[in-house]
Structure 1
Amino acid sequence: MQSVEIYTSPLCGFCHAAKRLLNQKGVEFSEIDVFRNPDRKPEMIERANGGRTVPQIFVGETHVGGCDDLYELERAGKLDALLASE
């Protein structure tokens, strides 16, 4: 199973929705709160190729994108394969 990292902030509904999907799938993930740790935001922007909004989701070294992108992978039946890949 790939490691999953998600950059979030506490008042972000899309962050909560993305975490809810991951939790429903039983996926363990590391959460990086850029509101409480603003020094991590430049790292997020660089890793996300300029993406400044949260959430920014990474599966292994793959940048998934945001919440809509995560749900699109799930709808397309591609999320499980991405999570399982080595």
Structure 2
Amino acid sequence: MARIEIYTKAFCPYCSRAMALLASKGVAVEETDITLDRHARDAMIQRADGRTTVPQIFIDGRHIGGSDDLAALERAGDLDPLLAG
């Protein structure tokens, strides 16, 4: 199974949507809440090529993007193979 990392913030509807999609797949997710964690936020920005919005999602270290990107992978049928590792 793939390693899934997601950077989130409190009260973020896009983060909730991405987490719900991943939960529906039954996969374990490593969530990092950057709401009050400047160091985690800086790490996310560096890993996400300067993107500052949340969520930022990584599957096996590969930057997927945000909630819309994750949903697009699902619609295209490309998410399940990534999650399988």
- Residues in 2 aligned to 1:27 and 1:17: alpha-carbon distance in whole angstroms: 15
Q: Secondary structure at the match of 1:2?
A: coil
* TM-score of the superposed pair, with normalisation by structure 1: 0.95
Please report how far the alpha carbon of residue 21 of structure 1 lies from its aligned counterpart in structure 2 after TM superposition.
Answer: 0.3
- In the aligned structure 2, how far is the partner of 1:61 from the partner of 1:14? 21
> Identity over aligned residues, as a percent?
49
1:70 aligns with 2:70: yes
Where has structure 1 moved over 2 Å in runs of 4 or more? none
Letter in structure 2 aligned against 1:34: I
C-alpha displacement at 1:76, in angstroms? 0.2
SS at match of 2:17: helix
Mark the runs of 5 or more structure 2 residues left unpaired by the alignment. none
Question: 3-state DSSP class of the match of 1:69?
Answer: helix
Aligned partner of 1:47 in structure 2 is 47
Q: State the aligned residue count.
A: 85
Counterpart CA distance in 2 for 1:74 and 1:30 is 19
Q: What code does the residue aligned with 1:48 have?
A: A
Q: 2 CA distance for matches of 1:51 and 1:16?
A: 19
Q: Which residue of 2 is the match for residue 6 of structure 1?
A: 6
CA RMSD of superposed structures (Å): 0.7
